Structure 1
Amino acid sequence: MAESKQQWLSRNRPPRVQITYDVETGGAIEKKEIPFVVGIMSDLSGTSEAPRPKLKDRKFVEIDRDNFNEVLSAVAPEVTCLVDNKLTSDGGKLKLNLSFSSMDDFRPEQIVEQVEPLRALLRARERLNDLLAKLEGNDDLSELLKQVVEDTSKLQALKQELEKSRGG
């Protein structure tokens, strides 16, 4: 006889919540277990512009640790909001449109990739880290950069040289 899904789950992934009750049948007390099932009806897509079926046409979706990213991708949640712009001194607002298709999309580095000003700052930080790595043990380059930073005329000359080499 084929086992039910509930039996398979109880054997492979025992539930954290187990509800039991005592039944008296013919003078003997017998323990019965009730499966714990939760159904949530909610629109979790946020401000997503994807067309949504009517409430009566929606089906329950079973979510577990094995299919969570697939379900999240199918729902395609999005968040659109205005936040204070702390990146510039003008103090305006920054419009964010974040979309998520897996749990990894909630990681800070993935959110930074979706916000252009933050992505530009991250790229600048990566370039500075690369420069610091090149300076490690290269005393000549380190000394040259110190001279350029301290002497504004050398800084202007270096800037003009870089513009010429870029073709601008």
Structure 2
Amino acid sequence: MPAESKAKVIERNRAPRVQIAYDVETYGSPTTIELPFVMGVMADLAGASQTKEASKSVLDRSFVETDANRFPKFMEALGPRVKARVKNTLPQAEGQERDEELALDLTFSKMGDFAPDKIAEQVPQLAEILKMRRQLEELLGFMDGRVDAEKRI
């Protein structure tokens, strides 16, 4: 019979990081009641979002209850957005003028939208570079092990 893996033993025996419990006496017998961990965030996270909730003042907004299962819908409803101007450090082709600043208008509807490649796809100058990079990776994969293709290039 194989020994139980260490990961499973740790997972089974590890207590949650936040554990709030209190002892009560119910009908003469002591009972421990464990409270769930609840966290509230009070912040103006609307940013440049144009949702109905974002247009309200912070004092008039209400708490939104969410959990891991409902978080994607929460993100979509919140509609986080970033509008900013940043210094342009991208290389330019010869003969082209470099804009001093890039205007960004980033929108996020799910957690995956915060990934670097998803952000780059929302900035036209970066999207073009990312497209070229993907094409080069595809070409490299195509050429792998093909001597005749390597000779042609």
Instruction: Classify the TM-score, shorter chain.
Output: 0.5 to 0.7
Q: Calculate percent identity across the aligned residue pairs.
A: 42
Residue of structure 1 in register with 2:51 after alignment: 50
Following superposition, the deviation at residue 138 of structure 1 comes to 4.5
Change (3 A) 1:125 1:38: closer
2:121 aligned residue (96, 113, 119): 113
Note if 1:74 corresponds to 2:91: no
Following superposition, the deviation at residue 56 of structure 1 comes to 5.2
Q: TM-score, normalization: structure 1?
A: 0.61
Count the aligned residue pairs. Answer: 131
2:110 aligned residue (102, 105, 109): 102
In structure 2, C-alpha distance between the alignment counterparts of 1:67 and 1:35, rounded to whole Å: 18
Following superposition, the deviation at residue 34 of structure 1 comes to 4.7
Note if 1:86 corresponds to 2:94: no
Residue of structure 2 in register with 1:9 after alignment: none
Structure (1 or 2) with the greater helix fraction: 1
Once the two structures are superposed, what CA deviation does each residue of 1:54-105 show, in whole Å capped at 9, x if it has no partner?
Answer: 4454332112110111101101001112222221254722121111110111
Q: TM-score, normalization: structure 2?
A: 0.66
RMSD after superposition: 3.3
Change (3 A) 1:126 1:18: closer
Change (3 A) 1:29 1:88: same
SS in 1 for 2:68: coil
Matches within 5 A, 1:22-41: 22=23, 31=32, 33-41=34-42
2:114 aligned partner, one-letter code: F
In structure 1, C-alpha distance between the alignment counterparts of 2:33 and 2:72, rounded to whole Å: 35
In structure 1, C-alpha distance between the alignment counterparts of 2:33 and 2:143, rounded to whole Å: 71
Note if 1:65 corresponds to 2:73: no
Structure 1: state its 5+ residue gaps.
Answer: 1-13, 146-168
Q: Which has the larger Rg? A: 1
SS in 1 for 2:105: strand
Structure 2: state its 5+ residue gaps.
Answer: 1-14, 93-97
Residue of structure 1 in register with 2:12 after alignment: none
Note if 1:130 corresponds to 2:138: yes
1:128 aligned partner, one-letter code: L
